Each structure stands twice: as C-alpha cells, then as structure tokens.
C-alpha cells in the first residue's frame, strides 16, 4: 500500500531497511562509537517497530537487527528505548558483539544469492541463445520501472509486489503494448536512490519492429497506467545514455542480427545484468519471485523443436 507519513520523523519502509542494513555493516566493521551507536540504534529501533510486519521475510542484515532488538528489550527490562543511554559500556559491548555473532547468517545468504544468480544467468543465456537462433534479427529493448516523486517514499513492498504482478500479467499474455512480444526478462531490486524498482528487458522480432525507444516508452507509460500515475520509468534508449556504450562498442540495445556475434555478445551482457547480485531486496513477501523470464517453448511459436535441437547441438559441441 501507499503509506502517508504524517510524522516526518518516521521514514518509509525501504529507507528504514536500507538504513538498518548500512548500520549493521558499520557496527560489524567497528566504525561507530558508543554515543553514535546509541543515537542511531534508538532511531532505527523506533522506525523499525513502525514498519515491521511479521508476515514478511527479511534479509540477513534485518534479521540480525531484529535479534539485537530482542536482546536490547531484555536488557532494558522492556522499558522505553530511551533507557538504553543508561546501560554500562560493558553491556553495550555485549550488545554490539551480537552483530558479529550472527554474521554467519549474512555469509549463508550471500552464498545462496550467488548460487541463485549463477543459475539465473545460465537460464537467461540459454533463453537468449534460443531466441537468437530462432529469429534472423531481434529488437532488444530495456526500460527501468520505479516510482515517481513522493510515491518513491510511500510505496511499500506489498504495493510493489501487487503492481508488478498486475503488470506482468499483461506481459505474459502479450496484451496492450506487449502485442508481438517474443521474449522478456525482469528483475526486482531495492536501490539506495530509487527504492523498489524493476529492470525489464523486452525482445521483439526485429523483422517486424525496429524502434526500441518507442517500445520502451510504451512499456513505461503502461507502468504509469497500472500504478495510477504513481509509477515512473527510465527509457534506456535515451540517446545520451546509449552514446557512452556506443562509443566503446558495448551497446547491446536495438536491432541485433543473428550473425553479428559482437552485437549478440553485447546483448547477452546487457541481459545478464538482470542477474547480478548487488541491490537485492531487503524484504519480500513469502514465495515472492525477484527474477523471471518468458518461455521459449510456447504453442504460438513455430519451429520450436528444430531450434531446440540446433542450440542443443551447439552447446554440447
């Protein structure tokens, strides 16, 4: 849902979680003194109590902070958090040590994320190989979906999930502006400056479509429609944005021909950007997906079995 923060001292969900994640790392790297620790922990403690939802799944950083909150509650006898100032430094040291004690949760999470990232990369590259083999040329389109202005602050993970699911239904059914779509991939992230956002790649038959800017613009405008004008977007086909990649020969957007290996490699590199393991979500709904692609083997696509055989032979050789 979109939250209204009448009390400006309380930050929105994604900002609170981002600040907690940064705070946990500061404590673990011992880059914070007692006074600053108490000041920042007290503020984050209050903010987190405001946005916490037992039905959500949090990242390792946030779960470590939750554990510390429970320990602090016990230490201060479940009094107001302001009492934390009265604790002896020895007790504060014990509390700060808890951040290190549970760092194994972060290591486990990183390994799982790396494994998932590699799996996503492998499946996406195979998907791209199949599309390039099947069509003589493809139009590769990229657009980033986010929230506009004040709604950047007000959108929580539940609203983001709802909006994305509604949007993806139209992609999957090739309806509205996605008519003629031959492939797609998407990834959900949480960034420092953009909050919750989605990286989206759309793939069209290059013999029928050749204007990436228009395709990306239409996809972005439809996102605004789905979100009732709360959404914003960045068209990756912006000339200024493209120019820096074109100058160094790494641009993979636009029409890419089957036999142009250099452009294909660029397009694949652009695609696997969606599988990177950097700005992962700090909170998710149960069973919430953060990455996905279309299916190659669909009834409406002719000659699928032949393409599968050709790519299979190429990959096994």
For residues 140 and 127, the answer to whether their CB atoms sit within 8 Å is: no
Neighbours of 286 (CB within 10 A): 7
Provide the total of helices (H) and of strands (E) in the chain, helices listed first. 11, 8
CA distance 253 to 251: 6
Q: What is residue 146's three-state secondary structure?
A: strand
At residue 313, the pLDDT reads 66
Phi then psi for residue 202, to 5 deg, are -120, 140
For the packed helices 60-75 and 104-134, what is the interaxial angle rounded to 10 degrees?
Answer: 160
At residue 9, the pLDDT reads 60
Residue among 252, 267, 256, 258 nearest 314 (CA): 258
The set of residues, in sequence order, having a beta carbon less than 8 Å from that of 79 and lying 6+ positions away, is none
CA distance 20 to 10: 13
For each of the chain's 317 residues, which pLDDT tens digit applies?
A: 544 444 446 688 999 999 999 999 999 998 889 899 999 999 999 999 999 999 999 999 999 999 999 999 898 887 887 778 888 888 889 999 999 999 999 999 999 999 999 999 999 999 999 999 999 999 999 999 999 888 887 899 999 999 999 999 999 999 999 999 999 999 999 988 789 999 999 999 999 999 999 999 999 999 999 999 999 999 999 999 999 888 888 899 999 999 999 999 999 999 999 999 788 999 999 989 999 999 988 777 888 888 888 787 667 65
Residues present in the chain in total = 317
**142 in the Ramachandran plot: left (φ > 0), alpha (ψ -120 to 50) or beta?**
beta
Residue among 25, 229, 267, 32 nearest 142 (CA): 267
Burial grade of 78 (CB within 10 A; 0-12, 13-18, 19 or more): exposed
Token representation of residue 255: 């029409």
List the Cα angle 89/95/99 in 5-degree steps: 135
């Amino acid at each position: 849902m979109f939250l209204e923060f009448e009390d400006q001292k309380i930050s929105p969900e994604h900002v609170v979680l981002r600040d907690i994640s940064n705070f946990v790392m500061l404590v673990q790297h011992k880059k914070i003194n007692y006074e600053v620790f108490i000041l920042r922990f007290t503020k984050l403690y209050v903010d987190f109590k405001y946005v916490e939802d037992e039905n959500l799944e949090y990242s390792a950083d946030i779960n470590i902070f939750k554990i510390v909150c429970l320990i602090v509650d016990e230490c201060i006898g479940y009094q107001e958090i302001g009492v934390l100032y009265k604790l002896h430094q020895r007790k504060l040291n014990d509390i700060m040590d808890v951040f290190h004690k549970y760092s194994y949760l972060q290591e486990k999470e990183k390994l799982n994320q790396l494994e998932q990232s590699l799996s996503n990369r492998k499946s996406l590259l195979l998907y791209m190989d199949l599309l390039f083999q099947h069509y003589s040329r493809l139009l590769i389109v990229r657009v980033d979906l986010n929230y506009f202005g004040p709604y950047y602050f007000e959108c929580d993970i539940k609203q983001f999930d709802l909006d994305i699911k509604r949007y993806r239904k139209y992609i999957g059914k090739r309806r509205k502006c996605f008519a003629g779509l031959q492939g797609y991939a998407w990834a959900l992230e949480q960034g420092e400056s953009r909050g919750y956002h989605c990286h989206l790649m759309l793939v069209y038959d290059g013999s029928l479509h050749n204007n990436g800017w228009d395709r990306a613009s239409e996809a972005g405008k439809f996102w605004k429609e789905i979100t009732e004008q709360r959404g914003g977007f960045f068209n990756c086909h912006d000339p200024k944005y493209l120019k820096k990649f074109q100058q160094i020969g790494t641009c993979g957007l636009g029409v890419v021909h089957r036999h142009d290996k250099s452009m294909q490699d660029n397009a694949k590199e652009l695609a696997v950007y969606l599988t990177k393991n950097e700005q992962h979500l700090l909170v998710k709904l149960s069973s919430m997906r953060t990455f996905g692609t279309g299916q190659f083997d669909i009834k409406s696509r002719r000659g699928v079995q032949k393409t599968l055989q050709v790519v299979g032979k190429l990959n096994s050789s």
